[in-house]
Amino acid sequence: MSITDSHSRLDDDPAFALHQGGKLHVEPSVEVTDHEGLALAYTPGVARVCTAIADTPELVNTYTWKSSVVAVVTDGSAVLGLGDIGPEASLPVMEGKALLFRQFAGVDAVPIALSCDGVDDIVETVARMAPSFGGINLEDIAAPRCFEIERRLRERLDIPVFHDDQHGTAIVTVAALRNAARLTGRTLADLRVVVSGAGAAGVAVTKMLVDGGIGDIAVADSKGVIYSGREGLTPVKEELAAISNRAGLQGSIETALEGADVFIGLSAGEVPESVVATMAPQATVFAMANPNPEVHPEVARRHASVVATGRSDFPNQINNVLAFPGVFRGALDARATDVTEAMKLAAADAIADLVGDDLSADYIIPSTFDERVVPAVAAAVAEQARSDGVARS
């Protein structure tokens, strides 16, 4: 096929038509229409501002865009469900993330796709460009390197560093599960949960549910349930084993799901209907793999009281866009130096509380277009940042 024929074929696809030329551009926030304005916006007026910032560095937050702009950073190693497709191919996703920051939270974001060979290169590169930004949103970086990158950047930088694949997913999942438990007359402490997948999302969801007071939670990877003493565990999975699976379950995920209250799917595996049927009465199924859930929602509903997915064409979509815009809006408003575990739980509570008395099996989580979400999450995160002592305003 010729290049011309290939372009013609792509032009027929509305997704390509929307992406042509990219999804972003930069616009000035002030107008320069004459010599006087130019002298203020650039030389010589700009020199007075530079000098003031050099004398008092915190003024950078007042007199530049730093306090309202986020870097959306990836190495292209774990993009959506596409895998390691490289930095160039990841750029449409990073542009999309920046678009959502602006549309939902009024936060400016810059997509940055890095060509880096490893953890050290990514950490050093992001740290060197951090003075230009008020926050760092790590995106689509493969596990286990994503854990180390986030940890080291949080230790090194005094601005929020947030790996959305981990914490955005965890925040929305916890919010949805709180309401699923409420719908069935229970609390998180009453539930036994099984998580499929020990990647970035699975680890973060498990840790956040433990912090939120879950009854018990077990995690399964491709080799079965993770437990203390299992051979071949990575350091991340050893840490996971130490905080989960108090029941000491071993063996397959199918065995673990027998009598379980909740299934949370964060992997590409499949769960047969016969296994879902062995779960406890009033079970909850979050089948969040995209585009194909671990169990089809219509099948899950034959046995579960509450079903959620990651897809927009079924009720109860668990979507990170409910979390990250408001989390960063709140962190930036408070000029926070970090995003603490308590701030994440505050975000989850704020999302869950918006459902209120309208709670039903098909409505345990707000819509991604619910205009109440970002203000509620931002306010909760900013307040918690001040309570945690990580706010600077």
Listed in sequence order, the residues at least 6 apart from 40 whose beta carbon sits closer than 8 Å to its beta carbon are: 46
Residue-wise pLDDT tens for the chain (393 aa)?
455 455 556 667 888 888 888 888 888 888 999 999 999 999 999 999 999 999 999 999 999 999 999 999 999 999 987 889 999 999 999 999 999 999 999 999 999 999 998 999 999 999 999 999 999 999 999 989 999 999 999 999 999 999 999 999 999 999 999 999 999 999 999 999 999 999 999 999 999 999 999 999 999 999 999 999 999 999 999 999 999 999 999 999 999 999 999 999 998 789 999 999 999 999 999 999 888 899 999 999 999 999 999 999 999 999 999 999 999 999 999 999 999 999 999 999 999 999 999 999 999 999 999 999 999 999 999 999 999 999 998
Architecture of domain 18-159: 3-Layer(aba) Sandwich (3.40)
Cα 50 to its chain centre, rounded Å, is: 35
Alpha-carbon span 268 to 214, nearest angstrom: 24
Kindly list the catalytic residues. Answer: 42, 97
Location of structure tokens 């998180």: 188
Location of structure tokens 């990219």: 22
53 φ, ψ to 5°?
A: -70, -40
Burial class (CB in 10 A: 0-12, 13-18, 19+), 230: middle
* Predicted local confidence at residue 1, as pLDDT: 46
Alpha-carbon span 361 to 179, nearest angstrom: 10
Give start and end residues of each alpha helix (H) in the chain.
3-11, 14-19, 35-41, 45-55, 60-63, 87-105, 119-129, 145-156, 164-183, 200-211, 235-243, 253-257, 273-276, 297-300, 324-333, 341-353, 373-388
Between the alpha carbon of residue 246 and those of residues 135, 193, 214, 225, the distances in Å are 36, 11, 11, 12
Domains of the chain, by residue range, sit at 18-159, 165-393
Residues in a beta bridge with 72: 111, 137
How many CB atoms lie under 10 A from the CB of residue 290? 13
Query: Are 18-159 and 165-393 the same fold in CATH?
Result: yes
Known binding-site residue numbers: 139-140, 165, 290, 319
Known binding-site residue numbers for a divalent metal cation: 139-140, 165
Burial class (CB in 10 A: 0-12, 13-18, 19+), 231: exposed
Alpha-carbon span 75 to 281, nearest angstrom: 43
Give start and end residues of each alpha helix (H) in 157-192.
164-183
How many CB atoms lie under 10 A from the CB of residue 275? 20
Token digits of residue 354:
């918006």
Longest dimension (CA), the chain: 75
* Predicted local confidence at residue 12, as pLDDT: 78
Alpha-carbon span 246 to 108, nearest angstrom: 43
- Preceding omega of 144 cis (within 30 degrees of 0): yes
Alpha-carbon span 73 to 114, nearest angstrom: 7
- Topology of the domain comprising 165-393: Rossmann fold (3.40.50)
